[in-house]
Structure 1
Amino acid sequence: MINKWTISAAIVAMTLSLPLAAAQAQPAAGPAFAMPSTQMFETQSDGGETYRIFISYPKGEPPEGGFPVLYIIDGNAYFASFAETRRLLEYAEKGNALVVGVGYPTDDAYDARRTGDFLFPVPTVGPPAQAKSQPSATNTGRDKFLDFLTGKLRTEIGKRYKINPDRQSLFGHSFGGLFAIHALYARPGAFQSIVAASPSLEWNVQDLLREERAFTAKLTSGQVTKTSRLMLVAGDQDTDDDAEPARALAARLDPLSAYGLSTRYRLYEDEIHMTVPARAVTDTLRFVLR
């Protein structure tokens, strides 16, 4: 027979077990993890936009001529992967470079401001499928962002570290990859090496083709005398259909090697759009630091 004392004992036992269960579900918070050999600061562009800058730096002295620098846009999302890989490469004497993540003052992986920084003006009327991804007419700041990367930010990094001005590289993914290719076309000599991962080349009805044609004409006519090296990477399961446009772009640019443009293309098996950057970390560091 169940009496009131049995019920009371059960209630007491259940009550006593609650704090333990809660403690198991929500462990006490410890100190936040800080990545070794890194620093972070915030700075503003000439237009007053605030950016959060992450830096991964070597322990040793800079090489003759200064540290090579790899700029990672969407730094909130990708900096940590590149920083830790660079740090491990120091054990193989191959990580003597700076990795600079360029991000935004948020703890989220991505910030809405990226569309204004990475994309170009869109037509008044666009395909319905692209309407949701189109920025507003005022978000046309990609060249201002490029000014920031190659001007004020580069100067600030140079004040903090001895850097090699001739070994500056850029990595971007998705819309960031599209921006990276724009940087090649708009300022061919601004970066020694550029890596565009799963670039969204289909965006805005491949409007970047206009820039490609103009760049090709200038390069083949001798108007461009110094140009970046370019590596395009994509996944064979890219949901945004970025693999084939990237391969086709590499094929179109390959003949320009006769005029000084070096282009490479890599396709990663079993990778989707969001996993391509992680797969590309080692290839990118090898490409820009060799």
Structure 2
Amino acid sequence: MRSRPLAVTFSVIALLAVPAAAATAYEPAAAPYTMPETETWDMTSGDGQVFRIFVSRPAAPAPEGGYPVLYVLDGNAMFAGFAEARRIHCFGTGDIDKMIVVGVGHPGEHIYDSRRMFDFTAPIETPALKQAYAGHKSGGRDRFLKFLLDELRPAIGKRYSVDAHRQSLYGHSLGGLFALHVLYARPGAFRTIIATSPSIWWDNQSILAEEQAFRARVEKDPALGRTSRLLLMAGALEDGTMAADAGALAKRMEALSGHGLRVEYMLLDDETHISVPSRSVTASLRAAASRR
């Protein structure tokens, strides 16, 4: 990340230091915006990690069988876009609004918390990557997955009427890498896995060994392939091999279509790594709401 010039930094600090009394007396005090049909709380996992949970839910009663649920990783960054898109679809003709979106994030106001690397990755093995991220922890992905499946999902099931068979997971970048790990390690845990711009390059592409093992399992037991659907998305303007890696993965996975695994790949024109999430929202909601 590029450093900002000190002059700019000091200017920003100076602006933040302007006292509230500088506003004219007749202006009403500003209040934080509260997003309708949402709620949030902090939840401590069994191993003592604190997560911030964001929920967007319809005001209307649940349909027969309960609401489908979409779990969105990096909730601090992603939740608001998904929540308002879900809500505004009440004016549409489909059922995209008739679902629950659960953002999984961290306490605080940072868009991306540094803990995400620990939550989404296996222990780093590549020496160069270890050196590059020496100040950050890695290797907590299975602890995080246990929290999602064994603690958070039951908690959501107690609070809301949900459809246990229509549960989806969305992740972007390292979150997309984690979503692929969930598909490979726990097929069927989520009916739909949505991996946008997955960081397949991470740690010398170590995720490819998991993919190969998963494909071998599905070929031996086709029932595993019928438990999940994979939606891949990437931006045409992403740096590096992000889009090429996602497209190549989609082609490899298509070989499992005969075993029931449904795979879809969307290359998003004019989108960069940072803009892919905003563009992916509607397609992700549609996939999570689908009964197919």
Q: How does the TM-score come out when normalised to structure 2? A: 0.86
Aligned pairs, number: 265
Give the corresponding residue for 1:217: 216
Give the corresponding residue for 1:105: 107
Q: Say which is worse superposed, 52-61 or 222-231, in terms of deviation.
A: 222-231
* Contact 1:54 1:79 survives alignment (8 Å): yes
Aligned pair 1:264/2:264, yes or no?
Answer: yes
Alignment partners' CA distance in 1, 2:29 and 2:266: 42
Structure 1 residue matching 2:233: 3-state secondary structure: strand
* Contact 2:223 2:259 survives alignment (8 Å): no
Alignment partners' CA distance in 2, 1:201 and 1:195: 14
Alignment partners' CA distance in 1, 2:110 and 2:29: 20
Letter in 1 for 2:32: A
Alignment partners' CA distance in 1, 2:254 and 2:99: 28
Alignment partners' CA distance in 1, 2:117 and 2:29: 35
Aligned pair 1:193/2:195, yes or no?
Answer: no
* Contact 2:222 2:259 survives alignment (8 Å): no
Note the alpha carbon deviations across 1:72-115, whole angstroms, 9 max, x for none.
Answer: 00000000000000001122252100000000001111101100
Structure 1 residue matching 2:32: 3-state secondary structure: coil
Structure 2 residue matching 1:239: 3-state secondary structure: coil
Aligned pair 1:202/2:196, yes or no?
Answer: no
Alignment of 1:1-290 (within 5 A): 23=23, 29-92=29-92, 93-94=94-95, 95-123=97-125, 125-127=126-128, 131-133=131-133, 139-222=138-221, 225=224, 226-290=226-290
Give the corresponding residue for 1:10: none
* CA displacement at 1:186 relative to structure 2: 0.5
Letter in 1 for 2:49: E
Give identity over the alignment, percent. 46
* CA displacement at 1:139 relative to structure 2: 2.9
Structure 1 133/242 Cα, relative in aligned 2: closer, same or farther at 3 Å?
Answer: farther
Note the alpha carbon deviations across 1:94-145, whole angstroms, 9 max, x for none.
Answer: 210000000000111110110000011121x4336x7424675x63110111
RMSD of aligned alpha carbons? 1.9
* CA displacement at 1:44 relative to structure 2: 1.1
* CA displacement at 1:28 relative to structure 2: 6.9
Give the corresponding residue for 1:4: none
Q: How does the TM-score come out when normalised to structure 1? A: 0.87
Alignment partners' CA distance in 1, 2:178 and 2:67: 24
Structure 1 residue matching 2:76: 3-state secondary structure: helix
Q: Is the radius of gyration larger for structure 1 or structure 2?
A: 1
* Contact 1:188 1:224 survives alignment (8 Å): no
Structure 1 224/103 Cα, relative in aligned 2: closer, same or farther at 3 Å?
Answer: same
Structure 1 runs not aligned, ≥5 long: 1-18
